[in-house]
Structure 1
Amino acid sequence: MKRKYLRLVRRAYRYLRHPHIRNRPWLLALTKPLYNRELWHPCRYTVAGGLSIGLFCAMLPIPFQMLLAAIWGMKAKINIPIAMGTCWVSNPFTHPPLIVVQITFGHWIRQFVDIPMPFDKAMQIKFLNLNITGNPADFFVGCLAMAVTLSLLVYPIVYGISAFLPNRGRRLKAIKQRRKKSV
Structure 2
Amino acid sequence: MAKKTIQRLMPDHSKIKEQKALKIFGSLLHDANLWHLNRRSARGAFAVGLFFAFIPVPFQMVLAAALAIPLRVNLPLSIALVWLTNPLTMPPIFYGAYLVGVAVLGHEQQPFQFEASWQWLTESISTIGPAFIVGCLVCATVSSIVGYFGIDYLWRRSVNKAWAERSKK
TM-score by length of 2: 0.72
SS in 1 for 2:56: coil
Superposition pairs of residues 22-33 of structure 1, within 5 angstroms: 30-33=25-28
How far is 1:57 from its partner?
Answer: 0.9
Amino acid across the alignment from 2:149: P
C-alpha RMSD of the superposition: 3.0
How far is 1:12 from its partner?
Answer: 4.2
- The reply to whether residue 137 of structure 1 matches residue 130 of structure 2 is yes
Partner of 1:180: none
- The reply to whether residue 84 of structure 1 matches residue 79 of structure 2 is yes
Amino acid across the alignment from 1:74: I
Amino acid across the alignment from 1:8: D
Partner of 1:148: 141
Unaligned runs of 5+ in 1: 17-26, 127-133, 177-183
Partner of 1:93: 88
Unaligned runs of 5+ in 2: 115-126
4+ long deviations beyond 2 Å: 1-7, 166-170
Partner of 1:8: 12
Asked if the contact 1:54/1:85 (under 8 Å) is kept, the reply is yes
1:138-183, CA deviations, whole angstroms, 9 ceiling, x for partnerless residues?
101101111111111112101110112148969xx8xx9xxxxxxx
1:124 to 103, 112, 119: 112
How far is 1:87 from its partner?
Answer: 0.5
SS in 2 for 1:124: coil
Amino acid across the alignment from 2:57: I
Partner of 1:181: none
Asked if the contact 2:11/2:80 (under 8 Å) is kept, the reply is no
Asked if the contact 1:123/1:136 (under 8 Å) is kept, the reply is no
Using CA pairs under 8 Å that are at least 6 residues apart, name the structure with larger relative contact order, 1 or 2: 2
TM-score by length of 1: 0.67
* CA distance in 2 between partners of 1:160 and 1:61 (Å): 29
2:104 to 84, 105, 109: 109
Amino acid across the alignment from 1:87: V
- The reply to whether residue 62 of structure 1 matches residue 62 of structure 2 is no
* CA distance in 2 between partners of 1:110 and 1:99 (Å): 16
* CA distance in 2 between partners of 1:104 and 1:74 (Å): 33
Partner of 2:153: 160
- The 1:47/1:137 distance shift into structure 2, 3 A limit, reads same
* CA distance in 2 between partners of 1:164 and 1:75 (Å): 28
Instruction: Flag the structure with higher strand content.
Output: 1
- The 1:94/1:79 distance shift into structure 2, 3 A limit, reads same
Amino acid across the alignment from 1:83: S
